[in-house]
Chains A and B, each alone.
Chain A
Amino acid sequence: MPAANPISSVNDFVIRFANVNGSGSASANELFARSILRMGVPVSPRNIFPSNIQGLPTWYEVRVSEAGHLGARGGTDMMVAMNPQTWDKDVASIEPGGYLLYDSTKPMPKSKFRDDINVIGVPLTAITNSTYTDPRQRQLFKNIIYLGALSALLDIDPKVIEKLIGEQYKGKEKLLSSNVHALHLGRDYALQNLKCPTGLRIRKSDKVGDRIFLEGNSAAALGAVYGGATVCAWYPITPSSSLADAFTSHCRRLRYDPETKKAKYAIVQGEDELASIGIVIGAAWNGARAFTATSGPGISLMQEFIGLSYFAEIPAVIMDVQRAGPSTGMPTRTQQCDIISAAYASHGDTKHVLLFPEDPAEAFEMAAQAFDLADRLQTTIFLMLDLDIGMNHRLCRPLKWDDAKQYDRGKVMTAEMLEAGTEFGRYLDVDGDGITYRTYPGTHPKKGSFFTRGTSRDRYARYTEEGAAYQDNMQRLLRKFETAKDLVPRPLQANAGKPTKYGVIYFGSTSPAMDEAIDLLEARGHVLDRLRLRAFPFHSSVSSFIAEHDFVYVVEQNRDSQLRSLIVNELSIDPVRLVPILHYDGTPITARFIARAIGDHLDQLKVTPLRKVVS
């Protein structure tokens, strides 16, 4: 059934797999994405999955983009419809001229299809059932068979897939050969019975380079290993559980003493999030580097301890893999919605340091850096990941580590310093940066012990309810937060090629969509300067960026423009100057969305595109 205008595109399209959760499709789909990468063409896959173990619909979307756009695009050029539950919606979502690959074993009424798409039937069930008798094998190999058909339909080199299968089943020859066999069953059927390739094709390229392909959660966990974390306490919660799991497996490979076969780490699955952060704070108080991984509901539960960390000045690292809230919200959907609850976590006057990685490579770097910052600033550092970065494979620059780097353990007074008579006041600001010296428990028999408490205390850690001493301490904590501004990663500015009155601020996982949106906007005649925030507290360059523009869009993935509120509040910016661009339906933000929202806003203002003014 050929459509009037079949989409024709090489190395630039979106394919979506509609599957049933728990049917084993994930590994076949990942194999598909990896094979395109191996052909040198960038891809960005995304899992769209339910909060469910088996039976509910799940999708896997792969955006193929030789130009290197890694953000979600929106729209589907080819649908691999393997789930009858979602058939109607899946078919409806295909772009006109797009393709539908389906299991044609049983005839379907014409009304189930569309005239303006290209329908490709492969009798997957028939092929599978005639080859395999074991029901589990039938289910698993069906996935590999459609992968084989796709290799023909999209002109993917089968040798590349075979090599990947070989790597995956190294040493398991039986599995290896049966997978390769299934691959060719599908491929041969397509070559013999269908028009191959379709209008959508993969052509070998060299646009991947030395980039690596990994999930943000795994990268952050590896950052924790490199950053010297020895204690991890956590409680299972989507979408952060895979971070703790990854830390466990990285440690198993990288953190055993070769001689004694003993672990240079301790991981405890806490009874809840309160215990997890309590363990982190106890360990860090005692001089170990410690972290927890959680998501929004966990942040809510940890509030009291986070306040203790702030006020008693104990290092802690919290990796928050954000998901859609409020309450249980949408546990398997992405958002950037914990900005305010993290920045001002806990009762009383508090402020916390947040880091905003854009991709797995930055998640690795910032995770490692978070431990230095926590020790240096003696407070909680939040690494603000989200489901989109955390649980999807993303193409990013290779991870790097400087072997000359030493951990910054911050201001720790040693037994030698105490012995030499150095004055010790746990909350005595000797350097004027708001950061005071601490001692680890057990340092010296007679000197340097102090009592840590969440109650008010004087500069020598003695309990007091004196207003002046309390204010003195609270002001020092503000000074410390000022110091943090120059320690955290600076914002990155990218100016338009020509002068413009408009700017855009964004952060975290919005990054690839934003980069692409800039191109789309330029095509519409709008140019903007960009500032990607990488941390809170905000560096002074944020104020100046806003001052340099008539108004600035603030793009974020939540309903209440949380980052914008933080900017308005912390930098005393007139809210009118910051225009919110908000995406919060739980799917990753797309370039199309950003370009449309900003473009329409600029059009509505009847702004003459700058190009014309200049000419």
Chain B
Amino acid sequence: MTYVVKPKFHHPELPKNKLGYTHRDYEGAVSTLCAGCGHDSITASIIEACFELSIEPHRVAKISGIGCSSKTPTYFLGNSHGFNSVHGRMPSVLTGANLANRDLIYLGVSGDGDSASIGFGQFAHCMRRGVNMVYIVENNGVYGLTKGQFSATADRGSKSKRGVVNSDNAIDMVGIALQIGASFVARSFSGDKKQLTPLIKAAIEHQGAAFIDVISPCVAFNNHAGSTKSFDYVREHNEAVNFLDVITGRAPIHVDYAPGTVEMVEQHDGTILALRKLNAEYDVHDRQAAMSFLHHHAAKGQIVTGLLYVEQDPQDLHQHLNTVEAPLNTLGEKELCPGSAALEKINAALR
């Protein structure tokens, strides 16, 4: 929505990144979400992550479904192509886009209604195919645009604004992502930008299916006592297992953490994830242990956040399909059409 036009002028000495862009070059239109919405904080983290990674904004394709969360791609990366598709179908549209051009960065933004209910199947299948993408679920446990119905991620026993108690079990998107083979899985909280921004950076650098569940309280319908997705509840129950720094390029690695508390994880593209361990036992490379850790803490009412699992050398759908290096959308008749001579041979074999 463009009811308000953002002024273009900014402070002349705003910091610039390697491409000479300022933070403003990664912004989009003014948000039309409610004041204080957790989603706007996620938008800010996406902007910061892209700025810090010096990404060419137009080399990002931002794709969403339908809902409050799916509106947010309008509010960041104004020079990127965006696609607000149909409800619950961002994963398939993004999969197709990715097949057409493997050279862009694909940012899929979805919500808990979009991904855990109507689009649960598509979420699962794009993760299991290993589509190279960043899949962010802005998870608030309610349907905001339709006035506060429970979503499938709402915890059993949590109370709606109208006082109704949810009797259905919750779907834990992180648990599902781990189980079906996502190669990067994280959870964060929109109220913790310091944790979230590096996770988004790491997910963008990750060359496979990266999933981030971001708990993002709905200030209008799910921020009251009795909710398990309110700012207060999440702050009180947040169990962060680690804190991440993302180090890219050839910059010398500068570590000022106490020895033994940091694990350096080198990614396939050379990016280094510096993981400050908050829980000494937690191993980000053990999928089974991660699932069990999550279950164990969920039973205690704790919300585990941080980088939960990462594969250092992931495979993506293009590798599975053995596609050519050149983006398929750049191939013309010369590369694609077998021509009349080949057709004559085919005709001959059909007589």
Contact = CB atoms under 8 A, between A and B. Distances in A.
B74 interface: yes
A286 B82 CA distance: 11
A211 B348 CA distance: 9
Given A290-B100, A449-B79, A262 B338 contact: no
B93 A278 contact: yes
A308 interface: yes
Interface stretch (B182-190, B275-283, B324-332): B324-332
Given A305-B89, A462-B2, A463-B1, A262 B322 contact: yes
Interface in B303-351: 317-318, 321-325, 328-329, 331-333, 335-340, 342-343, 346-347, 350-351
Contacts of A304: 86
Given A272-B121, A278-B93, A407-B333, A454 B101 contact: no
Nearest to B103: A442
A401 B343 contact: yes
Contact of A214 (B92, B323, B350): B350
A441 interface: yes
A264 B325 CA distance: 9
Chain A interface size band reads 35 or more
A105 B1 CA distance: 80
A439 B101 CA distance: 14
Contacts of B79: 445-446, 449
Contacts of A268: 95, 99, 129, 317, 321
B83 interface: yes
B89 A274 contact: yes
Given A254-B338, A267-B321, A281 B332 contact: no
Contacts of B337: 225-226, 228, 401
B80 to A, nearest CB: 6
A280 interface: yes
Contact of B92 (A275, A402, A406, A452): A275
B84 A278 contact: no
Contact of B324 (A213, A260, A402): A260
A255 B104 CA distance: 23
B176 interface: no
A213 B329 CA distance: 33
Determine which residue in B57, B99, B335 has the highest number of CB atoms from chain A within 10 A of its CB, and name it.
B99
A264 B336 contact: yes
Interface stretch (B58-66, B209-217, B256-264): B58-66
A264 B93 CA distance: 20
B94 interface: yes
Chain B interface size band reads 35 or more
B85 interface: yes
B132 interface: no
A491 B5 CA distance: 51
A141 B249 CA distance: 68
Given A267-B321, A444-B58, A282 B104 contact: no
Given A260-B325, A401-B340, A281 B100 contact: no
Contacts of A226: 337-338, 343
B324 A452 contact: no
B97 interface: yes
A217 interface: no
Contact of A271 (B125, B329, B338, B351): B125
A274 to B, nearest CB: 7
B122 interface: yes
Contact of B121 (A228, A267, A271, A449): A271
Interface in A244-265: 254-255, 257, 260-265
Nearest to A283: B96
Given A212-B350, A285-B93, A446-B79, 12 more contacts: A212-B351, A225-B337, A264-B328, A275-B89, A282-B97, A288-B329, A399-B346, A441-B104, A442-B58, A443-B58, A450-B81, A451-B81
Interface of B: 1-2, 56-59, 61, 63, 73-74, 78-86, 89, 91-101, 103-104, 121-122, 124-125, 129, 317-318, 321-325, 328-329, 331-333, 335-340, 342-343, 346-347, 350-351
18 contacts: A213-B351, A225-B337, A267-B321, A268-B129, A270-B125, A271-B125, A275-B95, A277-B92, A280-B96, A281-B96, A282-B97, A290-B100, A406-B333, A441-B61, A449-B81, A450-B81, A451-B74, A454-B85
Q: Which 4 A-B pairs have the closest CB atoms?
A: A282-B96, A278-B92, A288-B100, A441-B81
Interface of A: 37, 210-214, 222, 225-226, 228, 230-231, 233, 254-255, 257, 260-268, 270-272, 274-288, 290, 304-305, 308, 398-403, 405-407, 439-446, 449-455, 462-463
